[in-house]
Amino acid sequence: MNIQSNTYTYIYSTVIVLIVATGLAVVASALKPAQNKNVEIEKKQNILTSLHVVSDAGNAEKLYSEFITDSYTLNSKGEKVTGVDPFTINLRAEMKKKPSARNLPAFEAKKGDSTFVVIPVYGKGLWGPIWGYVSFRKEAQVQEGIPHYNTIYGVMFDHKGETPGLGAEINQPFFQNHFNGKKVFNDQGKFVSVQVVKGGADPSSPYQVDAISGGTITSKGLQAMLDSCLVTYQNYFKSNN
Partner 1 sequence: MKNLHLLLNPLNDENPITVQVLGICSALAVTVQMKPAIVMALSVTVVTAFSNLIISLGRNTIPPRIRIIIQLVVVAFLVIVVDQILKAYVYDVSKKLSVFVGLIITNCILMGRLEAFAMSNKPVESFLDGIGNGAGYGLILITLSFIRELFGSGSVLGYQLVPQSFYDHGYSDNGMMILPPMALITVGIIIWIQRGYNRKLIEK
Output the smallest distance, CB 21 to partner 1, in A.
9
Q: How many Cα atoms occupy the beta-carbon half-sphere of 62 within 13 Å?
A: 6
**Segment 213-232, which members bind partner 1 (CB under 8 A)?**
213-214
From residue 194, give the alpha-carbon distance in Å to each of 148, 179, 209.
17, 8, 7
Q: Which stretch binds partner 1 (CB under 8 A): 86-94, 147-155, 164-172, 188-196?
A: 164-172
3 forms part of the interface with partner 1 (CB under 8 A):
yes
CA dihedral 16, 22, 27, 28 (to 10 degrees): 110
CB atoms within 10 A of CB 222: 29
Q: Which stretch binds partner 1 (CB under 8 A): 16-24, 87-95, 177-185, 230-238?
A: 16-24
Count of residues engaged in binding partner 1, rule: CB under 8 A:
26
Q: Cα 166 to the chain's mean position, in Å?
A: 19
Q: Which of 176, 204, 174, 44 is nearest to 109 (CA)?
A: 44
Q: Which residues contact 193 (CB under 8 A, 6 or more apart)?
A: 184, 207, 223, 226, 227, 230, 231
Residue 203 near residue 169, CB atoms below 8 Å: no
9 forms part of the interface with partner 1 (CB under 8 A):
yes
Output the smallest distance, CB 43 to partner 1, in A.
12
Output the smallest distance, CB 223 to partner 1, in A.
22
User: How many whole angstroms separate alpha carbon 135 and alpha carbon 153?
Assistant: 5
Please select the residue that binds partner 1; options are 17, 18, 93, 101, rule is CB under 8 A.
17
Output the smallest distance, CB 169 to partner 1, in A.
10
**Segment 46-65, which members bind partner 1 (CB under 8 A)?**
57
User: How many whole angstroms separate alpha carbon 49 and alpha carbon 212?
Assistant: 21
Residue 130 near residue 222, CB atoms below 8 Å: yes
* Sign of the Cα pseudo-torsion (151, 153, 159, 162, in order): positive
Output the smallest distance, CB 134 to partner 1, in A.
21
16 forms part of the interface with partner 1 (CB under 8 A):
yes
18 forms part of the interface with partner 1 (CB under 8 A):
no
Q: Site mask, partner 1, residues 168-207, x = CB under 8 A?
A: ----------------------------------------
Output the smallest distance, CB 219 to partner 1, in A.
16
Kindly tell me which of 35 and 186 has the beta carbon lying closer to partner 1: 35
Output the smallest distance, CB 16 to partner 1, in A.
6
**197-200 own/partner pairs: CB under 8 Å, 24+ apart:** none
Name the residues that contact partner 1, by CB under 8 A: 3-4, 8-9, 12-13, 16-17, 20, 23-24, 27-28, 31, 34-35, 38, 42, 57, 160-161, 164-166, 213-214
